[in-house]
Amino acid sequence: MGRYRFFSKLTKCVAFALVFGVVGGTAFSGANYFLADHLTGKVTEDISEEVDTSKIQPASTSATTKSTDISGIVEGAMPSVVAITSMTQQEIRSFFGQGQTIESESSGSGILVNEDESYLYIATNNHVVQGASALTVQFADDSTAPATVRGTDSTSDLAVVQVDLSDLTEETKQAIQIAAIGDSDAVSVGDAAIAIGNALGYGQSVTTGVISALGREVTFQDETTSQTISSRLIQTDAAINPGNSGGALLNADGKVIGINSSKYSDTDVEGMGFAIPMETAQPILEDLIANGKTTTTGTPYLGIYGVDVTEEVSGQYQMPKGVYVAQVVKGSGAETAGIIAGNIITKIDDQEVVSMEELKSCISEYKVGDTVTLTVKIANNGSYLEKEVAVTLTGQNS
């Protein structure tokens, strides 16, 4: 990333939601009580959609403006951009052990970047596909096909999903095309930018703007995993809307120079969207396509949504003090080890924990792949049984 120009560091930390930048379709009734203190905060709305100023004319001295027609650029690029629908399953339980599994639908975007004899490969953001139990891709001709995750890299917030070519009709194959990749190193501040993506899950739409800064160091933190990711990104003032995550940021030639990734959200801030430069993304995407791997580097995490069982709550509900497991992340170390919603974590190895913050702090002292021993209390007919569970810590999406 040293190839990029350095500007002032963005010091504020932007928080990822569980499905950052994607549009969630199901409300989790009853979950707010358990998750409010741990899943809220300043959240970034993902991925920006930007409309280009590819042929923007300077303002004339007569104060009149000339409209810019970018329809040709958009028409050429639209067949390379797709909408991605992700289905996730999450279990919600009350303090008394009652619960249900809720299926949630969310939307993001993707870019067609490669194909071989068997598959079509689509670049997107890791957070678009994180925890997905099923993925569906919608193409420019409105046809759809099932997709699977080829590989992910949580440290760069990148992922590749694949679609079996046998699931596509000949008409769809003729309607789509692999994206033309531009040189993000050649971008200058003030250049026109066009963003295409699945805004609000309504389907593909376009916004325009300019490149407002390069090499912006932005730090994101997933509130559910505590994983911190720092990246040097392209900053743009184009309009950004939820659902654009994984969509294309184009230059005036209609070539992809970035993968839309996030928006800075603050009442005092307007027009600060970010995209992963293609010079950063391309080697990672090529590696994921070639090796089909899921990375396990980065900050380790347990994979739960936790709520503090305070002294007051403990006394009121006759519960052990600790961290109440309100939800378990699918595919995480916690799920693999058998931790379920309703368990109460009281220790990690020999250290007592009485809050989610303490648990996160303890986890941060380990590495991905380390095994820890959790002491959990399990509700049993009005009382609690104690059990030790060995959990192997994973990366964000391993």
Give the catalytic positions in this structure. 127, 157, 245
Smallest CA-to-CA distance from 236 within 56, 78, 50 is with 50
Per DSSP, 216 falls in state E
Take residue 86 and report the two structure tokens written for it: 């992700």
Q: For residue 187, which of 109, 278, 248 has the smallest C-alpha distance?
A: 278
**Residue 186 and residue 190: Cα distance in Å, rounded?**
12
Stretch (H or E) spanning 307: strand 304-309
Segments in 26-70 forming alpha helices (H): 31-39
- Closest Cα to residue 379, out of 309, 336, 300, 318? 318
Among candidate residues 108, 146, 100, the one with its CA nearest the CA of residue 130: 108
Distances from the Cα of 340 to the Cαs of 131, 277, 333, 387, in angstroms?
16, 39, 11, 13
Task: Give the list of residues 6+ apart from residue 74 with CB closer than 8 angstroms, or none.
Answer: 52, 194, 196, 206, 254
Q: What are phi and psi of 8, to 5 degrees?
A: -60, 135
H or E stretch at 288: helix 278-291
Are 228 and 219 in contact by the 8 Å Cβ rule? The answer is yes
Q: How many residues does the chain have?
A: 398
Backbone angles phi, psi at 364, to 5 degrees: -65, -15
Round the CA-based radius of gyration of the chain to a whole number and report it: 22
- Indicate the residue type of 122: I
